[in-house]
Amino acid sequence: GAGVSQSPSNKVTEKGKDVELRCDPISGHTALYWYRQSLGQGLEFLIYFQGNSAPDKSGLPSDRFSAERTGGSVSTLTIQRTQQEDSAVYLCASSLVYSGNTIYFGEGSWLTVV
C-alpha cells in the first residue's frame, strides 16, 4: 500500500514478556517517527530516525525501550519486560525529511499488557 504500515495491529501480551512492533514507512521517506498515545491523552514522542540514524532518543521512557531502523526503511520498536503502564497505542509516522514536511501516520499498534 501507499501509506505507513504497522504490525501487529493489536497485541496482548503478559507482563514481563518482550514485544516487537514493526513499521514500514512510505516509500522514499527518510524520516521515521515513533509516538505513544494512551487513551484520552496526547501524543508522546519516543524517537525519530533520519535515515538509519536516531538523532533524538530523548523520548524513550526507559532502557526497556529500544528502536532500530535498517536500510533506511523498516523500523522496529522493541519493548523488553513489558509492564502494564506500557499499554497504549504505538504510532509510527514518516515524512520525506525531518522537519518542514507533512508527517503521515500509520494506524498504530494497540498494545495491551495483562
Partner 1 sequence: RKEVEQDPGPFNVPEGATVAFNCTYSNSASQSFFWYRQDCRKEPKLLMSVYSSGNEDGRFTAQLNRASQYISLLIRDSKLSDSATYLCVVHRDDKIIFGKGTRLHILP
Which of 90, 74, 71, 93 shows the shortest CA–CA distance to 82? Answer: 90
Residue 100 sits in the site that holds partner 1 (CB under 8 A): yes
Residue 107 sits in the site that holds partner 1 (CB under 8 A): yes
Size, binding site for partner 1 by CB under 8 A:
20
Number of helices (H), then strands (E), belonging to the chain: the values are 0, 11
Chain residues 34-63 in contact with partner 1, contact rule CB under 8 A: 35, 41-43, 45, 48, 56
Phi, psi of 109 (to 5 degrees): -115, 115
Which residues of the chain form contacts with partner 1 (CB under 8 A)? 33, 35, 41-43, 45, 48, 56, 91, 98-108
